[in-house]
Chains A and B, each alone.
Chain A
């Protein structure tokens, strides 16, 4: 066992890990932060997506010991300080960007990474950026709409699926 320390959503945390402890299980099993979901467990679906030092990564494919000392941000760190939903989260709710909600933590984290890089993406750029996040429910259209709305763009023209 090796003790790993990192910063998760601004708080310094430590837990014992084996070499094979994945970042996803460090968060879920070690810290009880189950907002990060495990869908495929093979780096395909993006449900486990978190930010490591500001970059989007699939936490099911990174070992906790590899990111010792890093700044990690998860869905639990997305809401505003007063507990209200962040702009991106609120946009997902307003535009029905989720149905079962399983993919949503990864979608929100991916969207946040996109908007940090590109504050006013086009519809095409949103779809392209979210390629690594799979959703089995929504057909993606309302997710794309939510991300565009969160970026402050008018989505009233996006009534029906454009693609």
Chain B
């Protein structure tokens, strides 16, 4: 790993300042960034550690919403969001393994936007708002393809705000070695309709499945999506599964997510 300067700001204001210089990059749980730096795929000159900043930690609920500080680790979301948004807590509890969940954060996961990551499905499927140090970004505008997001250089995610649906479920077909989603589907039923977000499947990253949303908004049952298919054209194909296999799994996982939502 190349050498760099590690800074540990105590407040968001200090972190924003430290991120202002060229070559500065945010460090959250390090579960993705540290291995990436060891492979020399990233070589920041300064790492700005966010995990010690109290304002970026914690889970709070008010007026039908749950707000999660960006530096909250997956294990804390699994434990602390359970009473407010069980579908989201259950997703956090399925990420990686216990040690990954003790370090990895929601902000790091959303900033990275790995095409096989779990949180992007929850954020898009819930219609969440990504809150940064400068603005609020709707999930529908935030995800811009594999590893691409609406974040600007130096912008820091501070929190993620989730509207709490009437029911929600996430089911992933875990890639057995990494436990990332080979395909994962998040389904959320709101008073005004159903949202369905698919991760792990597409070359363009997480996406909403409009046909399933329409079918489930009329009839929220696993039967409602039986027979619906997504085209295999844009699906990821690798040694773990072909494009056709992933397209098939999208239908299967959607039905299971609806059953999990109850």
A43 with B100: CB separation less than 8 A: yes
B4 at the interface (CB under 8 A from A): yes
B199 at the interface (CB under 8 A from A): no
A144 at the interface (CB under 8 A from B): no
A46 with B97: CB separation less than 8 A: yes
Q: Which of A65, A66, A110 contacts B99 (CB 8 A)?
A: A110
In the complex, what residues of A have CB within 8 A of residue B38's CB?
Answer: 41-42
A57 with B51: CB separation less than 8 A: no
Q: How far is the CA of A88 from the CA of B30 in the complex (A)?
A: 30
B3 at the interface (CB under 8 A from A): yes
Q: How far is the CA of A112 from the CA of B180 in the complex (A)?
A: 25
Query: Which residue of chain A lies nearest to B39 when distances are taken between CB atoms in the complex?
Result: A42
B35 with A61: CB separation less than 8 A: yes
Given contacts A19-B4, A58-B103, contact A132 B34 (CB under 8 A): no
In the complex, what residues of A have CB within 8 A of residue B39's CB?
Answer: 42
Query: Which residue of chain A lies nearest to B4 when distances are taken between CB atoms in the complex?
Result: A19
A63 at the interface (CB under 8 A from B): yes
Q: How far is the CA of A72 from the CA of B30 in the complex (A)?
A: 18
A76 at the interface (CB under 8 A from B): no
Scan residues 67-107 of chain B and give those whose CB is less than 8 A from a CB of chain A.
75, 96-100, 102-103
Q: How far is the CA of A86 from the CA of B185 in the complex (A)?
A: 43
In the complex, what residues of A have CB within 8 A of residue B3's CB?
Answer: 18-20
In the complex, what residues of B have CB within 8 A of residue A19's CB?
Answer: 3-6, 47
CB distance from A36 to the nearest CB of B (A): 13
A49 with B99: CB separation less than 8 A: yes
A33 at the interface (CB under 8 A from B): no
B179 at the interface (CB under 8 A from A): yes
Query: Which residue of chain B lies nearest to A129 when distances are taken between CB atoms in the complex?
Result: B98
A56 with B99: CB separation less than 8 A: yes
A55 at the interface (CB under 8 A from B): yes
Q: How far is the CA of A22 from the CA of B52 in the complex (A)?
A: 17
In the complex, what residues of A have CB within 8 A of residue B49's CB?
Answer: 63, 66
Q: How far is the CA of A114 from the CA of B34 in the complex (A)?
A: 25
A115 at the interface (CB under 8 A from B): no
Q: Which of B2, B6, B96 contacts A63 (CB 8 A)?
A: B6
In the complex, what residues of B have CB within 8 A of residue A49's CB?
Answer: 99
B10 at the interface (CB under 8 A from A): no
Q: Which of A61, A66, A110, A114 contacts B51 (CB 8 A)?
A: A66
In the complex, what residues of A have CB within 8 A of residue B35's CB?
Answer: 41-43, 61
Query: Which residue of chain B lies nearest to A53 when distances are taken between CB atoms in the complex?
Result: B102
B30 with A63: CB separation less than 8 A: yes
Given contacts A129-B98, A132-B96, contact A61 B47 (CB under 8 A): no
B54 at the interface (CB under 8 A from A): no
In the complex, what residues of B have CB within 8 A of residue A131's CB?
Answer: 97-98, 179
Scan residues 160-174 of chain B and give those whose CB is less than 8 A from a CB of chain A.
none
A110 with B98: CB separation less than 8 A: yes
Scan residues 51-95 of chain A and give those whose CB is less than 8 A from a CB of chain B.
55-58, 60-63, 65-66
B98 with A62: CB separation less than 8 A: no
By a beta-carbon cutoff of 8 Å, the part of chain B in contact with chain A is 1-6, 8, 27, 30-31, 34-35, 38-39, 47, 49, 51-52, 75, 96-100, 102-103, 178-179
- What are 21 A-B pairs with beta-carbon distances under 8 A? A20-B1, A20-B4, A41-B35, A41-B38, A43-B31, A43-B35, A55-B102, A57-B102, A58-B99, A58-B103, A66-B27, A66-B51, A66-B52, A113-B98, A114-B98, A129-B97, A129-B98, A131-B179, A132-B96, A132-B97, A133-B97
- 4 smallest CB-CB distances across A and B, nearest first, come from A132-B97, A19-B6, A42-B35, A131-B97
